[in-house]
Copies of this chain bind each other. A is one copy, B any other.
């Protein structure tokens, strides 16, 4: 969808015209009160569920949770899923042509924040005729968007669903992002972001960033179960070939990512994560940030997630209870680490389905 109204960004710059790619699943009801917005995480996109277009080789990234009879039941809800601005899957971002120069934006694309995304998403809601979302839902960086929606535009949603997320990054989270960024930026093929013109991509850097990312998505336990110290061959080779299964796995993940993700988008997404801190303008108090909002929250975390551990979700829950807001919280026993939020773990599915099932629709606004 094309937007031609100027969008003012937190960094002080503006986007004069931009495109937003999105998918929808299910039907908007007559009362227009059954719409759900799905917000994606670092490397996600608008293809969240099912097989939507003919070219789809895989079901969407959150197919476990979106569809008929699933927690986000498309028989009841009208689901909207978009690719965020700054992305590389159809919405305007670093790989798009900059109307001012006629060349790809590259590093000249403005850095986006979670707040900027919420603003752009609210414009999409306007255009779709959705005054109020039944819920805004997301995991990880997506959960941050749901939280920001509730704080910035509380009248425009009834429920916020914040899964495997955090109220802000820790120093360790930022540190991992910084190593990923330096991997990309220091790759000689990065050319300060202008690699499109050079007809190269900073493969090595993007691969390293993705390998590192994968370590933080899996728990130590999940890695132990999945790979342990399993070797590719019986004998040690005493060289730098991949000898342990976990090495092959990471290399494969890194290599396959390079083919379908943009390095400038990766950088931008990590910065949006680093910057996210909605309590900042409330004197550092998240409780104050949420004290007047009339939005109900569902917060979920996973025991083995060390990227955004349960403690981080509990910070959100504590702020909400301190502010006497409505919140349900579930801490799911799961071995899969941060990735658990994408996996149909029975206790998670049950809690998520039950919560979403209680959201009333078709009653008018």
A-side interface residues toward B, CB under 8 Å? 10-12, 110-111, 168-172, 174-176, 178-179, 181-183, 185-188, 204, 207-208, 211-212, 214-215, 218, 220, 223-224, 226-229, 236, 238-240, 242-244, 246-247, 250-251, 254, 267, 271, 274-275, 277
* Nearest CB of chain B from residue A78's CB, rounded to whole Å: 35
* Nearest CB of chain B from residue A133's CB, rounded to whole Å: 28
Known: A175-B215, A207-B182, A246-B178. A169 touches B229 (CB 8 A): yes
- How many Å lie between the Cα of A359 and that of B227 in the bound state? 41
A228 proximity list for chain B (CB < 8 A):
171
Count of identical protomers in the assembly: 2
A207 proximity list for chain B (CB < 8 A):
182, 186
Could you give 27 example pairs across A and B, Cβ below 8 Å?
A110-B238, A111-B239, A170-B229, A171-B246, A172-B215, A172-B220, A172-B224, A174-B244, A175-B214, A175-B215, A175-B223, A175-B247, A175-B250, A176-B215, A178-B211, A178-B242, A178-B246, A179-B212, A179-B215, A179-B250, A182-B208, A182-B251, A183-B208, A188-B188, A212-B212, A236-B275, A240-B267
Task: Point out which of A175, A228, A243, A246 has the most chain B C-beta atoms below 10 A from its C-beta.
Answer: A175
Known: A243-B274, A244-B274, A250-B178. A229 touches B171 (CB 8 A): yes
In the complex, the answer to whether A247 meets B168 with C-beta atoms within 8 Å is no
In the complex, the answer to whether A204 meets B186 with C-beta atoms within 8 Å is yes
Known: A111-B239, A170-B220, A239-B111. A246 touches B186 (CB 8 A): no
A226 proximity list for chain B (CB < 8 A):
171
Beyond A172-B224, A175-B247: 10 further Cβ-contacts under 8 Å?
A11-B238, A171-B220, A172-B218, A172-B220, A175-B211, A175-B250, A179-B211, A179-B215, A188-B188, A236-B275
In the complex, the answer to whether B174 meets A246 with C-beta atoms within 8 Å is yes
* Nearest CB of chain B from residue A28's CB, rounded to whole Å: 36
- How many Å lie between the Cα of A227 and that of B171 in the bound state? 6
Task: Point out which of A168, A204, A238, A254 has the most chain B C-beta atoms below 10 A from its C-beta.
Answer: A238
In the complex, the answer to whether B229 meets A277 with C-beta atoms within 8 Å is yes
A236 proximity list for chain B (CB < 8 A):
11, 275
- Closest chain B residue to A247, Cβ basis: B178
A247 proximity list for chain B (CB < 8 A):
174-175, 178
- How many Å lie between the Cα of A97 and that of B238 in the bound state? 21
- How many Å lie between the Cα of A174 and that of B239 in the bound state? 15
Task: Point out which of A111, A224, A226, A236 has the most chain B C-beta atoms below 10 A from its C-beta.
Answer: A236
- Closest chain B residue to A337, Cβ basis: B172
* Nearest CB of chain B from residue A303's CB, rounded to whole Å: 16
- Closest chain B residue to A309, Cβ basis: B220
A172 proximity list for chain B (CB < 8 A):
215, 218, 220, 223-224
- Closest chain B residue to A223, Cβ basis: B171
- Closest chain B residue to A284, Cβ basis: B229
Task: Point out which of A110, A243, A277 has the most chain B C-beta atoms below 10 A from its C-beta.
Answer: A243
- How many Å lie between the Cα of A101 and that of B214 in the bound state? 41
- Closest chain B residue to A212, Cβ basis: B179
- How many Å lie between the Cα of A110 and that of B236 in the bound state? 13
* Nearest CB of chain B from residue A335's CB, rounded to whole Å: 13
- How many Å lie between the Cα of A175 and that of B238 in the bound state? 17
